[in-house]
Chains A and B, each alone.
Chain A
Amino acid sequence: MAAAPPLTSAAPASDGHGRRFLALWAVLSAIATPLVAIFLGPAIPPGNGSSQATGQVFDNQVMVAISTPVCVLVLLFVGYALVAFRSRSTAVADGPPIRGDAGVQIVWVVTTTTIVLGLAGFGTFELLQGGSGGGQGPTAAFLPAGHSKAMDVQVIAQQWEFTFRYPTYGGLETPHLVLPANTLVRLHVTSLDAVHSFWAYELGVKADANPGSDDIVYVRLKGPRTFHIHCSELCGLWHGYMFDTGQVVPDAEFAAWIKRQQAYFGPVARYLPPYATSYLPDPQLRAG
């Protein structure tokens, strides 16, 4: 066979397998997708603690909804093929010599490309809504509305604990994170030693803490709640124990809390380095 075989289907078109399969797929997708959206959708994490978190929930819901017909397509196809095209005889018989079908290939390539480009565009759109809770490095490009009036809070990660500084309150440093409700907060995440990652689950915030570098993340907080903080970058022995609980509280309670912290940690304030977006403290290389 010196010439390449023609790229057309040589199978008879009249036995209806293709139409039957597509019909089955359409029906099953039409049933499954709403079911998934209704029952699985509301349970999609991470929750409603901030606009960023809500944005992530929406994003995840959309992708779960799009994944459903794709899953049904592939799984139904394999199942259908195993039922309809199983070899019925013990002798090894060949199937028809179909080497390709230009039409199917074009449809597949165009459809997958469209879905993929659509998802990329959708993700970029979500990202533009203020960064989606992900760390943006020292110069954030995706700024939410009102970012110039955002409240700065610094997260300092060290082996193996997070501490927090409030530059708007004179560089006050505290061991726990308390934030005022319904506020746009600009978190500056940095590290004193290894690479950590600040993950505030219910707020939908995740930003790596890098030594000598600032990682900015915007979070527009909603109502009062408790949220969980985990370190999500392996940083040594107690990485798994580097967790904490944070609070989002009403403004009055926040102000009272700040006062209490200032009173208790006043004595150490004079030893703290001036507030900066990153620190490289001594001892730097080897222990003294």
Chain B
Amino acid sequence: MRGAAWKLAGVALGVGLAGVLIGFYVAGYLVGDTKSFRPSVAAGATPVARLTIQTVAAVGPTLAPNPDWVSYLVRDGSGTWRRSTVWRLPAHALVHVTIYNFDGASGLRNPFLGRPQGLVGPELIDGKPLTVMPPDQPSHTFAVPELGVLVPVAPVADDAKNQCGYAPCALSMAHRTITFTFRTGKPGHYRWQCFVPCAAGFLYGFGGPMQTIGYMDGFLNVV
């Protein structure tokens, strides 16, 4: 019967369309900056990983859909800066981290977070060990609460010359160098975040990039 064939075609078309729309819908939620990056690891009894990251005041239009958001970037093996905040690290390893900060001070809401925690050895700011950073100074922090790691990041002075505009920032521009080492423990997913309210334009400075993976938050996938 021709009528039934038309109806069947119509229903099949409807189901197909629904499937496509559902696919788009689900894909919309899957979008996010969660591709993981694996820094170089020196094998041994205790593996040693080296992570080089930079923090920038504005990530720029080539690297992100939100050009004026603050962000962390990580340097891969070829020297290119990539916007990835999900890092794969070995378990029970030492991780040496170097942060180049190109951003100015924002200040802490809780001054307690100016004391570094959970590190192997001291935190070095431009080579000098840090005991505690006064609360109006930190530009960002790098913190892994589950591992007890907390590192305040020193700021570029407001009147410094040659400040970086959009990322990626070259080392020739005004920056501070922060180095520290921490130990990863058991395998797991450990989230990390910044604790400085550095998201301009959001209440308490904690919206936008501060609540989006790929900017000021990420994961350490310890395997």
For A271, give its contact among B134, B197, B199 (CB under 8 Å). Answer: B134
* Contacting pair A286 B200 (CB below 8 A): yes
A265 near B115 with CB under 8 A, answer: yes
A163 with B217: CB separation less than 8 A: no
Of B150, B198, B199, B203, the most chain A CB neighbours within 10 A belong to B203
Is A283 a contact partner of B204 (Cβ separation < 8 A)? yes
Complex Cα gap A158–B131 (Å): 23
Evaluate contact between B191 and A238: CB separation under 8 angstroms.
yes
Bits for A38-53, please: 1 = Cβ < 8 Å to B, else 0: 0000000000000000
Q: Given the complex, which residues of A lie within 8 Å of B204, measured CB to CB?
A: 159, 192-194, 283-285, 287
Residue from the list B117, B195, B197 in contact with A287, Cβ < 8 A: B197
> CB of B186 within 8 A of chain A?
no
A225 to B167: give the CA distance in the assembly, Å.
49
| Cβ-defined contact, A161 with B109, below 8 A | no
Look across to chain B and name the residue whose beta carbon is closest to the beta carbon of A271. Answer: B111
A288 to chain B, nearest CB (A): 5
Q: How far is the CB of B42 from chain A (nearest CB, A)?
A: 30
User: What separation, in Å, do the CA atoms of A281 and B143 have in the docked complex?
Assistant: 20
Chain B's nearest CB lies how many Å from the CB of A256?
19
Question: Which residues of A from 226 to 274 have beta carbons under 8 Å from B?
Answer: 236-238, 241, 244, 264-265, 267-268, 271-273
CB atoms of B205 and A158 under 8 A apart: no
Is A173 part of the binding interface, using a Cβ–Cβ cutoff of 8 Å? yes
Decide: A286 and B112 in contact? CB cutoff 8 A.
Answer: no
B-side interface mostly: loop
**Given A159-B206, A160-B193, CB of A267 within 8 Å of CB of B115:** yes
Most A CB contacts (10 A, CB to CB) among B110, B114, B201 go to: B110
Docked pose: A163 CA to B107 CA in angstroms: 18
The chain B residue with its CB closest to the CB of A192 is B109
B168 at the binding interface (Cβ < 8 Å): no
CB-defined contacts of B210 to chain A, threshold 8 Å: 159, 237
Q: Which residue of A lies closest to B208 (CB)?
A: A287
On whether A286 and B203 interact (CB within 8 A), knowing A160-B193, A267-B132, the answer reads yes
Contact B132 A237 (CB under 8 A): no
Which of B115, B117, B148, B212 is most buried by chain A, counting CB atoms within 10 A of its CB? Answer: B115
A285-B109 Cα distance, complex, nearest whole Å: 11
A15 neighbours in B (Cβ, 8 Å): none
Q: Answer yes or no: B145 CB below 8 A from chain A CBs.
A: yes
Please tell me if the beta carbons of B135 and A271 are within 8 angstroms of each other in the complex: yes
Find residues 79-132 in chain B having any chain A CB closer than 8 Å to their own CB: 105-107, 109-112, 114-115, 117, 131-132
21 CB-based A-B contacts, threshold 8 Å: A158-B110, A161-B143, A175-B117, A175-B145, A192-B204, A237-B210, A237-B211, A237-B217, A238-B217, A241-B146, A241-B191, A268-B115, A271-B132, A271-B134, A272-B111, A272-B112, A283-B106, A283-B205, A286-B200, A286-B202, A288-B200
Question: Beyond the given A237-B210, A268-B115, A281-B110, could you list 6 further A-B residue pairs with CB under 8 A, ordered by the A residue number?
Answer: A173-B112, A175-B117, A192-B204, A238-B191, A241-B145, A268-B111
